[in-house]
Structure 1
Amino acid sequence: MKRTILLAAMMATAAPVGAQAQACADADRVPITWSTIAGFYTDAMAKLVAGFEADHCVKVNVVNIDNSQLYNKQVIEMVGETGAYDVVTLETSEKAEFAENGFILPMTEYFADKKAQLDDVAPTLAALTVQYKGDVWGLPYYTYTAGYIYRADLLEDAGEKEAFKAKYGYDLAVPTTWKQHRDIAEFFTRKKGAMLKGAPLEKDFYGVGLMAGPFPEIQDEMSGVIWSQGADWLTDDGVVPVDAVEKAMNDYLALMQFAPPAALTVTYDGVMNQMKDGQIAQTYSFFLDQWPNAAQTETLVPGARMGVAEAPEKKAYIGGFLLAVSASSTHPKEAMDFVAYLGGHDAQMEFAKAGGTSTLMSVLSDPQFADPANRAKTGHFGTLLAIFDSMKGFRSNLFDTPFGAKIYNTMQIPLQSAAAGQITARQAAEQLAAQVEKICGGPCPIGK
């Protein structure tokens, strides 16, 4: 699950977080290498690297790797114990594998006297990213937690509200159930020439944007539905619950008729392009780090006003990118210092000011980010806080099996095939179950 927002240019105005520069000759600097996702995450955080280097006699080499290749490249270097990377970037489903196989170093002792810093990480995120089998494995520096982004002007239009209530028998509002979400998707799907907010449409309009393309994000969208059913991608016995996956897949297929035809080719950036082009009314279970992107709709679509809320049933995909230290690093102390710095309050504050989605409670709750003047960048922070509270104590077995990354990277195949109409929802669920059993060699081990 990998997200980028085209905001790198904003970082040009962000000041480095470092304090007074140390007297340190370049020849004396300890080299460490950080492997991470090419794009916004790197472009933004690399600006903050200068602050770390100012405070430490260290030279950080940032290696930009295309997101589709990051996991495989990092695994190859970890297995070979090459020491090529000192700090690695892990998606939530990858943490257990890297920890279980000894690819990364526990940082429990390092943070023993830095409890306040650990406690600042949103507890729900910390449980999913930082912690595994009683140890601390790094810090998350970015969250892609999902929620609901929608056209508030549409949901609050008097004429649309009257028509909706006449058709469905209840008030048009931010949906609190997936059934309500489905009704809204159906209601706003209209052909060119039909009326929307009292004016004729110049092109077809759709009730929902979906990430049904051949990318991993399709399972992220479906996760909120699976979890709101009280199910998970893996049972506690380590097997795929076929009936639950089939139901979630059928719910997804029911929405496909209300999404643009391009749904079968796009991921998050495509959905945002549809929103900014005035094609869709709402998202499904969607990554809130895209809020600064979605907010641009207000300047691109006449009369548009954007809203953000928790996903229906208060369940959605949740997680973040973890910075962890390679077990083969030749400079583990400096690498740990770097992780603590980028995941720390000062760097996260600058990251947030640039449009990055922080993982720290102190940053997400800072009053300046609730100021309407900052709404275009940080208008989703309050919703994230609500999500973390609603999902407190949440766990997913997908994130707690050392096979989670391998499972995650294959899930899209049967799910997207069903979305494209090539197989049924039942076949998709059964194929996923068979793939998972093969990956794990039987029931998957679950370790928390």
Structure 2
Amino acid sequence: MKSMLKKGLLAAALMASTAPAAMAQECADADRVPITWSTIAGFYTDAMAELVSGFEAGHCVKVNVVNIDNSQLYNKQVIEMVGQTGAYDVVTLETSEKAEFAENGFILPMTEYFADKKAQLDDVAPTLAALTTQYKDDVWGLPYYTYTAGYIYRADLFDDPTEKEAFKKRFNYDLAVPTTWAQHRDIAEFFTRKAGETLKGEKLTKDFYGVGLMAGPFPEIQDEMSGVLWSQGADWLTDEGKVPVDAVEKAMNDYLELVKYAPPAALTVTYDGVMNQMKDGQIAQTYSFFLDQWPNAVQTETSVAGAKMGVAEAPEKKAYIGGFLLAVSASSAHPKEAMDFVAHIGGHDAQMEFAKAGGTSTLMSVLSDPAFAAPESRGKTGHFSTLLEIFDSMKGFRSNLFDTPFGAKIYNTMQIPLQSAAAGQISARQAAERLAVEVEKICGGPCPIGK
């Protein structure tokens, strides 16, 4: 019954007509079709305000933007989807939530809608598209923002002759952007200093740490660990739908080694805390870290004398890939207008404007635009070329965590055992075993994988 309803709504949406753009500009407010977009409060939405206005100028539509704290967004959207209230026409989904919303009929497939818009679909970075838009041979919307991870570091420290010489003497290889996680750990150890010791030949007035970590009680700890786990050839779920305990234990132990070289506050913070530590001159590098934070990180060059920031792929060329997907609610009273809105926000023109405002685009044409490689754009888009490298390096990658309809529930549970291990409350083995038990409870046995 649910699938029949979904197909009926979709057919109606595709047959519906809309006013041409020129007519829409003269549309009376009383005639505008209302649609509501539930999304994340903060920059992600603030930067979209003008783009929403632009859509309204070209369509006889009024968009009501509902700003919801990221920690509450999933639960609020699920409640409305289960109740089929129609409260939201367009929803914003994290990568792990797509399969659940698609499998349960919460959102409408947009495969037919994009049938004659193949060029727009093809412009989405293929690696990102596979993880965010695709599920069981259907397209479920467009990502409008990516928080794909890489590596951010203090390039001035890596280039300092005194530090280079000391590193080479200690580890017997050159100090450079790490290509392996073992090198990354060496660098973290090397740059950890006490107040009174020297850094770049100058005496430190406060402790300095080799790495910033998102080890607080937040989901980002598993995002950080994903690159290491995937580098092992493992995943959070096997193809049989079970947690690979040995592999998770190994990744957790690697993480615990790094905790030694991170600020004590690592156990309480997420990405904003790491950025504050960088801008305060407390850390030398990140771990597997969200590159959308580059405009934040580059501010270190202003707050710390002599600092120069660098960005690169994460070691082993493996890191978390993710994005916010815009999808259309199956209970929307205006699915055609909602789909038009998704296509607009995820389209080239809107994404270009989003990038100029400091947003991290999902489109290859935007990420590769020469304007964003210019020196004057570095503060906002200096990470774009690195994102292109990451998407190329991870071409064809998929994670079973994103292809199970239980992915969101698993994702929202993972940080509990992982953070407990990071805090020293349980061992890495216990964390892996507890995660396996919790996942089995969530799925009622092995988790179904529906690529």
Once the two structures are superposed, the pairs formed by residues 212-231 of structure 1 within 5 Å of their partners are 212-231=215-234
Amino acid at match of 1:272: M
Partner of 1:429: 432
2:209 to 206, 211, 219: 206
Partner of 1:4: none
* CA–CA separation in structure 1 for the residues paired with 2:410 and 2:347: 31
Partner of 2:185: 182
Once the two structures are superposed, the pairs formed by residues 87-106 of structure 1 within 5 Å of their partners are 87-106=90-109
Partner of 2:406: 403
- Asked if 1:338 is matched to 2:322, the reply is no
Partner of 1:161: 164
Partner of 2:246: 243
Once the two structures are superposed, the pairs formed by residues 274-423 of structure 1 within 5 Å of their partners are 274-423=277-426
| Alignment check: 8 A CA contact 2:420 2:431 kept | yes
Amino acid at match of 2:219: P
Question: CA, structure 1 residues 214+400, in 2 after alignment: closer, same or farther (shift >3 Å)?
Answer: same
2:37 aligned counterpart, secondary structure: strand
Structure 1 residues without counterparts, runs of 5 or longer: 1-17
Partner of 1:23: 26
TM-superposed CA distance for 1:124, in Å, is: 0.3
TM-superposed CA distance for 1:319, in Å, is: 1.2
Identity across matched positions, percent = 89
* CA–CA separation in structure 2 for the residues paired with 1:339 and 1:123: 18
TM-superposed CA distance for 1:49, in Å, is: 0.3
TM-superposed CA distance for 1:20, in Å, is: 9.2
Partner of 2:15: none
Q: Normalising by structure 2, what TM-score? A: 0.95
Render the CA deviation track for 1:151-198: whole Å, top value 9, x for unaligned. Answer: 000011111000000000000000000000000000000000101001
TM-superposed CA distance for 1:46, in Å, is: 2.1
TM-superposed CA distance for 1:78, in Å, is: 0.2
Partner of 2:111: 108
Question: CA, structure 1 residues 31+200, in 2 after alignment: closer, same or farther (shift >3 Å)?
Answer: same
Render the CA deviation track for 1:196-249: whole Å, top value 9, x for unaligned. Answer: 001001100000000000000000000000000000000000000000000000
Q: Which runs of 4+ in 1 moved over 6 A?
A: 18-21
* CA–CA separation in structure 2 for the residues paired with 1:366 and 1:21: 31
1:278 aligned counterpart, secondary structure: coil
Partner of 2:257: 254
Question: CA, structure 1 residues 182+20, in 2 after alignment: closer, same or farther (shift >3 Å)?
Answer: farther
* CA–CA separation in structure 2 for the residues paired with 1:413 and 1:342: 35
* CA–CA separation in structure 1 for the residues paired with 2:421 and 2:182: 21
Partner of 1:9: none
Amino acid at match of 2:50: K
1:113 aligned counterpart, secondary structure: coil
Partner of 2:87: 84
TM-superposed CA distance for 1:47, in Å, is: 2.2
Once the two structures are superposed, the pairs formed by residues 122-133 of structure 1 within 5 Å of their partners are 122-133=125-136
| Alignment check: 8 A CA contact 1:42 1:64 kept | yes
* CA–CA separation in structure 1 for the residues paired with 2:139 and 2:338: 15
1:236 aligned counterpart, secondary structure: coil
Render the CA deviation track for 1:105-159: whole Å, top value 9, x for unaligned. Answer: 0000000000000000000001001111000100000000000000000011111
Amino acid at match of 1:434: V
* CA–CA separation in structure 2 for the residues paired with 1:41 and 1:167: 44
Render the CA deviation track for 1:254-285: whole Å, top value 9, x for unaligned. Answer: 00010000000000000000000000000000
* CA–CA separation in structure 2 for the residues paired with 1:20 and 1:385: 39
* CA–CA separation in structure 1 for the residues paired with 2:24 and 2:174: 59
> For this pair of structures, how many residues does the alignment match?
431
| Alignment check: 8 A CA contact 1:20 1:54 kept | no
Amino acid at match of 1:60: V
Partner of 1:6: none
Partner of 2:62: 59
TM-superposed CA distance for 1:19, in Å, is: 8.3
* CA–CA separation in structure 1 for the residues paired with 2:301 and 2:23: 41
2:63 aligned counterpart, secondary structure: strand
* CA–CA separation in structure 2 for the residues paired with 1:443 and 1:155: 46
2:48 aligned counterpart, secondary structure: helix
Question: CA, structure 1 residues 180+113, in 2 after alignment: closer, same or farther (shift >3 Å)?
Answer: same
| Alignment check: 8 A CA contact 1:35 1:62 kept | yes
| Alignment check: 8 A CA contact 2:24 2:60 kept | no
- Asked if 1:172 is matched to 2:193, the reply is no
